[in-house]
Structure 1
Amino acid sequence: MRWRDRGLTAILDRGPRRARRPAATTRKMESTMKLPISGLSGLGLCLLASAALAQDAGDPDAGERDFRQCRSCHSILGPDGEAIVKGGQVGPNLYGVDGRQAGTVEGFNYSDDMVAAGEQGLMWNLEDFTPYVQGPSGFLQDYTGDGSARGKMTFRLRNAEQAPDIWAYLVSVGPDGGS
């Protein structure tokens, strides 16, 4: 009986730790496993690099068009108060949102839960912006660990593919101008 045929029987008879492979089989497997593992490491690095690049992958021009649905509640006002984008005052000013602690725009009355998320370390970035605009209360509940957490934003972005574009637009009109 070959080793492979005996393998399952050995595991069942003696338990998974007692089944042993013949030394020649073990050495062969170890030498052939080195290439796939190193290949996977390279693949992992490529995926990390592409994830970092994906953050910059949004289209600010498309985001400007998509931002129209946000303007009913949000304005983008520069530090001097000049309107970059005229909009509503129901939501906070989105100028400089990239890297800003959540719940900290002066003069805006945030929900206690949004302030708590900011105090727990929520700094706005694409990674958090995307799920937030798709389901604000659900995002806050997950982030804070409080199942009753609620924000004031009731709008939900239905098309998740628009979020990176809107984010790229917000970054492009911010203090760094997308640089």
Structure 2
Amino acid sequence: MKPEPDVTRDEISRLIEASGLMRRLARFDPHWVGSTYLGLHDDFSDIDICCSFAPSLEATRTDVEAACGVFGDYDLTDEIYGGQPSRIVRFRMGGIPVEVWGRAHPVHEHEFYRFTQVEQRLLALHGPDLREDVVRRRRGGADTETAFVRALGFDAPPHVFLLDQFDKDDSALRDLREAGPSA
């Protein structure tokens, strides 16, 4: 069972603002995503930021190092993730782990950005019952995407399922919980 978080979403938001992180990353179109953004985090969660490292990972490396290298436990890795060249920058800020993810394409095409957009809409449409169900499943060990899909009553691969919901209208997202097989 995962513990309750020691810091709130608002405290994390203030930490991000005070650190100047988004300003430092401004040329990369940074977007805060994931469980901390949605207020679904626990003490094991990190702060996730999606960026666009266009025109290429190599061309942006020096600027990324300048933007993030000032933070403790800094590490930059370029690797293949999800079949695409990706950059993952890890560091700590105010004692909280941070991951800055990016590829050489616009942020709105990044799957983690899309997951968060869908999850945020689902929370708005389904209210506290869905939030409580997702939090309960996360405390039981599920990652955020799996917790959402299972809370909706589906046994589909979480990443594929959420990406399939990205372009759907609110009516279709509202119907998901009723349409899914019982969880």
Whether these two folds match at TM > 0.5 is: no
| TM-score normalised by L of structure 1 | 0.25
Larger relative contact order (CA 8 Å, sep ≥ 6): 1
